[in-house]
Structure formats: C-alpha cells, structure tokens
Amino acid sequence: MSTPKQEGSFLEHITIQDSFPIGTASLEEAARNTLPEEVFSHVHSGAGGQETLRKNRKAFEKYSIVPRFLNNVSIVDTSIRIFGKEYAYPFMVAPIGHLKMVHEEPDYAVANVAASMNIPYIQSTVTARSIEEISEAVPKGPKWFQLYWSSNAAISYSMVDRAEKAGYEAIVVTVDTVMLGWREEDMRHRYSPLKKGYGKANYVQDPAFQKGLKDGQDAIDSIIENLHHPHLVWDNLAELRQHTKLPIFLKGILHPEDAKQAIKSGMDGIIVSNHGGRQMDGIIPSLEALPSIRETVGRDFPLLFDSGIRRGVDVIKALALGADAVLLGRPYVYALALQGEAGVQKLFANLVQEISVSMTLSGAKNIQEVKQLTLKNSK
C-alpha cells in the first residue's frame, strides 16, 4: 500500500470536517451528551482518585517543542517503518475492548477505517467479533492482536496461533492487567461490559476455552476466571516467544529494568503505557517514563507509546521523546459513539492533518526529523 505524502496548502484545514467536533474537549463533551452516563464514565474515567489519568495529560504540557525553520517543508512524509513494514502514519489503533457498549458493529467499523488508511489495527482480546470474523470481514490492512494472558495458558497459546493463522502481523501482550484496576466509576454505576458479554467472541470461539469449560459453567464466568492471572512471570513470555514466529510487543512497561528484562526474554518491542490511568492509580505518567526507556533499549529497538494522546502535537512530542509511533485510545471511542465508522474516519483524517501541519510548522520533513526535534522540559 502506498503512503500519501502530505502536501499542504495554506488554509486547507480551516474548513476541515465541519460536521464533526473539533478538538478533544468538544469531542468528549459531545460523547458525554450522547452516551448513557455509565458507559461514558466507563470509557472516560481512570482508576482510584484518577491522579494518573490527570497526570498523563499534564505531562504533555511540561514539554515544549523548540521548532526549526527554513528547512523546505513543502512536502512532509508521515510514514513509519516497523519490522520492515511501512505504515502510513505514526499512530496505531489502541486495543479497546467491549466497544459494543457504544456501537452495534464496532470492531468491523474501526478495522475498516484503519485498513483504508494503512494504520495498524490492534484488536483487543475482549471484542464482540473474533479474530477470524474480523480478518474475514476486513481482509486488507495491517492487524495486530492484543493478548490478555489466560490463567489456563492453553487458551493464550491457542489465541496466538489463531492470530498467526489469520495473518495478523504482531502480538501485543498487555502486562498491566493481571487483575482489574480499582475503578470507582464502574463501582458507582455497578457497570461491567464484560458481564454483559460484549467481549466474549474470542473466548467462546476458542477450542482450548471450550475444552476448559467445567460442566455447566457459564462462559462469562469462565472468561472472568481466565482474565485473572497474577501468577504471570517472565518465563511465561520466554515460552510464548518459542511458540510463535510473530513479533511480540509488551504493553504496559514503565520501568527501565522491565524494559531490559523484556529484551532478555526475547521480546521484539515495547509499548510504554499506563493503560490510560485505568489500572493502577498513583503511578508515573506514561510520557515521563518514555525517555529513560528509550535510553535503556537503544535507538533501534521498536518502542511505542500510549496514554494521553489527544492531538497531533502530542504525537510529535512523544516521537521526539523516543517513541517510534503512538497508540490512539479514548478519542476514537467517542468518535465511534457519535458517528460510527464515519466518525472514526473523520477523527483519523483530522489527526493526520494536524500531524502534518505540526510537522511542517516545527520544521520536520519526515519522522526521522521529528525524532530529532528539541523538547524543552519546563517543569
């Protein structure tokens, strides 16, 4: 798939997507007014006192870009390469589960938009459609599979095999969710999309899961049991490494020592993330963890970032602090809730434009030059 080079004109973005909320605050506000309160709260809130959720955003404001000029930026190239594959833009679709709470056919809608733009779609373990259904409905476009480890390890291996067979390009193992975070908004509303069955497709269609079901056991109860895996250790990942040919990324790494250990265990990449402040509260904002992890893993190790990306300038800052690409999370859930597939398409189109304007105005012609931009930390 070819990558569009962005050739801007002076005023083109003034009339951009005028039937869609402009900027994160309006997008959030529109979603708040559209969704049932418990659903909006589930998506929007963080764990505990939501300190980490707030800090994720504040961290971006501590860093300022020092722009460069006179570098002939009439054409900017937004493409990136990871494991020899070219993707059109320096962002990917974060794995988000249970999207059926905001849309009838969410997984196809999001995967479709991602495929049409050559953006990797990272499918969550807990989706309404399975790996096979999504790859059949949306055969084109890069797809990665995010794995929540199962307490019955046979299910983890089986899901990874299924993803490999279905042509997925990478596995993302999320390491920060060995149990559910302390989510007070969900407790207040007694809301659990998992219990509603919005994320069961990959399990109920899995032979290892079916085999492990106890006599008369409800599938949802078994999923909840399997999602609890506090016993997960590095050896499990080293074994998983032996099991699949696909590159494995660990999502949720925040400590440089864990980054070192990931490399030792044969992992191929890392996603620096605190799960958007939804798991452990009171922990470091993801952006602050990024520079030291880049320093630890070296210049060429694939390193992605999420938690707090809301606009194009955020993407530029994360890249300048060491990320090769970022994951976009909550904003696309709001876009999906508001206008379905068309909403996600408009959000991504706007983000692409803003990234391109930001590159042009900071003097970076390509992603390599974005990574070399100077950031001033004004904290």
Catalog residues that contact ligand FMN under the rule CB under 6 A.
43, 94-97, 124, 126, 146, 174, 251, 273, 275-276, 278, 306-309, 329-330
Catalytic residue among 42, 98, 229, 275: 275
Show contacts of 321-324: CB within 8 Å, 24+ apart: 321/63, 321/287, 321/290, 321/291, 321/294, 321/375, 322/290, 322/291, 322/293, 322/294, 322/295, 322/371, 323/272, 323/290, 323/294, 324/80, 324/82, 324/90
CB of 101 to ligand FMN, least distance (A): 8
The residue among 107 and 341 lying less far from ligand FMN, judged by its C-beta, is 107
Q: How far is the CB of 221 from ligand FMN (least distance, A)?
A: 19
The C-alpha atoms of residue 85 and residue 105 are separated, in whole angstroms, by 29
- Nearest-approach distance from CB 309 to ligand FMN, in angstroms: 5
| Alpha-carbon span 347 to 341, nearest angstrom | 10
Complex with ligand FMN: residue 80 or 326, whichever CB lies closer: 326
Cβ of residue 53: shortest distance to ligand FMN, in angstroms? 7
Least separation, in Å, of the C-beta of 70 and ligand FMN?
34
Helices (H), ranges, the chain:
24-34, 37-44, 51-62, 106-116, 131-137, 153-165, 184-189, 201-204, 207-212, 219-227, 234-243, 256-264, 286-297, 312-320, 330-362, 367-371
Enter the tokens of residue 359.
């590159």
List the structure tokens of 72: 């002939």
Question: Would you say 146 and 123 are in contact if contact means Cβ atoms under 8 Å apart?
Answer: yes
- Answer yes or no: 275 catalytic: yes
CB closer to ligand FMN out of 20 and 305: 305
Minimum gap (Å) between residue 68 Cβ and ligand FMN: 28
Residue with smaller CB distance to ligand FMN, 117 or 253: 253
For ligand FMN, the closer of residues 80 and 271 by Cβ is 271
What are the beta bridge partners of residue 121? Answer: 93, 143
- Residue number, 118 or 202, with CB nearest to ligand FMN: 202
Query: What is the DSSP track for 229-294?
Result: -TT--HHHHHHHHHH-SS-EEEEEE-SHHHHHHHHHTT--EEEE--GGGTSSTTPPPHHHHHHHHH
List the catalytic residues.
275
